Copies of this chain bind each other. A is one copy, B any other.
């Protein structure tokens, strides 16, 4: 099988995870690994890993396993992480700032090219070497900077409006952190990371 069918989110997320684990192995100096060893080490499923990889071709050597460097490299290109992706952060509050700082360190495949807020005390100031624009300039700045992915870290009440401003500005994907159910635009790939819901799930299982 090559790559005609649409890949599921679950598979894709696991591929990212595999890559991360492979990098750990690289750091440890491991050059070869079998799916069994890999799975045991990282508490994953060996057969599932093989099946995930099978969506994209053959990566291993029967009888031997996988060459760590090789698999890592192929996963990197496969996931598009060998290219640089331009990010815009909308909402430079405590979360937005943390994200911006985090991405500045970890700048391998992602690069922040624009930041937005509405707070007069923040607009015009710099975060690192990046000036914070006013949100009303989203339609102008997004195309200029060629931002492809937007990170939404504004209050829930502003999220939908910002989302729509972003979509009409030609953004290709949005990662939303606001605890709200966005009315999605079909042409923009949208995901939400919902801290609150995850916390509530844990709370459900507590004894008292």
Contact = CB atoms under 8 A, between A and B. Distances in A.
Interface of A: 7, 9, 12-13, 16-17, 20-21, 42-44, 79-81, 83, 85, 93-95, 97-99, 101-102, 106, 109-110, 148-149, 172-175, 179-181, 183-184, 189, 191, 193-208
B9 A201 contact: yes
Nearest to A109: B203
* Total copies of the chain: 2
A206 B148 contact: yes
Given A12-B200, A17-B197, A83-B208, 11 more contacts: A79-B204, A80-B203, A94-B101, A95-B98, A95-B102, A98-B98, A148-B208, A149-B203, A189-B202, A189-B205, A193-B198
A148 B83 CA distance: 42
A148 B184 CA distance: 36
Contact of A193 (B106, B175, B193): B193
10 contacts: A7-B204, A20-B180, A44-B181, A83-B208, A94-B98, A109-B200, A148-B206, A149-B203, A173-B206, A189-B202
